[in-house]
Amino acid sequence: MPEKPKPQHEPGPCLNCGHQLWVNDLFCHQCGQKRLEREDLSFSHLIGESFFDYFHFDSKFFRTILPLIYKPGWLTLEFMKGKRRSYVEPFKLFLVISIIYFILLPFSNETEKKESDKVMPETEGVQKVGEKADLVHIHYSLRNVPVSRSGQDSMRMEVDSIGIQRYVDKHFPKESPATKFFLRHVCKIMISRGQSLGTVLEHTASKLIFLLIPVFALLLKLFYIRRKRLYFEHLIFSLHLHAFFFLVLILSLLVEVFIPVSFFLIMTVFLVYGFIALKRYYSQTFGKTLSKMFLISLSYLIIGLPLFFGLLIIVALLTY
């Protein structure tokens, strides 16, 4: 079998450190960065490369965090210029920050969960309870029975005597078949797992949250289609933007230990950051950037987030 020919590149400086490279040089002798080939610009390569060295942390992580915070869009520009070795890979950066957030979230909500379990209003059907502005943290209650640990024992005793089907029919006779299907699974989760629906959704969201990234990147591709950029570029931008969003959520959790942080403040910071990042990376006028940011945000809220939360609930109910 003939040996695969080695790729050849034009001689020139390394895009990361500037060291002179020649035709047959695949890696830089100075910093070790690999020269870009077409297969490197793929989604599968991006994820695979991140997972292989996921547990390798060094000073790159700290060198990446500061420009992520203070220079919106700059990390994406640097990555697309070829300076990939100097900073943490975008997918790895997003993964680490989002995992830290979901690790801290249960600790920050522990007190609130206890308080919400003590007092739950009687409602018709399913009702959201509480105003906590976390990404996925929502409390639910069913008529007469809170979907929380405090209602678990009374629900189990009644279900054991009459069964889940009759239990749901008894308490929710006017609900649609789809709603009753949802409620039966909620009851099963509470009885078998001893967890509230909110806890289950939090655990599931930590596994599915990365699905938001390609959806947002697709919206960027559509709204900046005339810029003729690769989907890969929008994907990198999306990873950096969502990494910053989760970083803000982490900081808000830490600050809330001392003082409350409003969700309005968090969203204001994120929108201002997003505007600066879009303008810096896509290099359009103030007016165009502002209008596109509004349309992208609106599309994200109408299309992306509802799809995500719908999938989140379905996966949570079917896997727990």
φ, ψ of residue 72 to 5 degrees: the values are -55, 130
Model pLDDT for residues 277-301, shown as the tens digit of each residue: 999 999 999 999 999 999 999 988 8
Instruction: Determine the pLDDT at residue 137.
Output: 40
Predicted pLDDT of residue 166: 82
pLDDT of residue 272: 95
pLDDT at position 288: 93
Q: For the whole model, what pTM was predicted? A: 0.64
User: Can you tell me the distance from the alpha carbon of 67 to that of 87, in angstroms, rounded to the nearest whole number?
Assistant: 10
Give residue 40's pLDDT: 61
pLDDT at position 178: 72
Q: pLDDT tens for residues 179-204? A: 777 777 777 766 665 556 666 666 66
pLDDT tens, N- to C-terminus, the chain (320 residues): 455 455 556 778 887 888 787 777 777 877 767 776 666 666 665 655 555 555 455 567 888 899 999 999 999 999 998 887 788 889 889 988 988 888 887 776 554 544 444 444 433 344 443 434 344 344 444 444 444 444 556 667 777 778 878 877 877 777 777 777 777 777 776 666 555 666 666 666 666 777 888 889 999 999 999 888 889 999 999 999 999 999 998 998 888 888 888 888 888 999 999 999 999 999 999 999 999 999 999 988 888 777 777 777 777 666 65
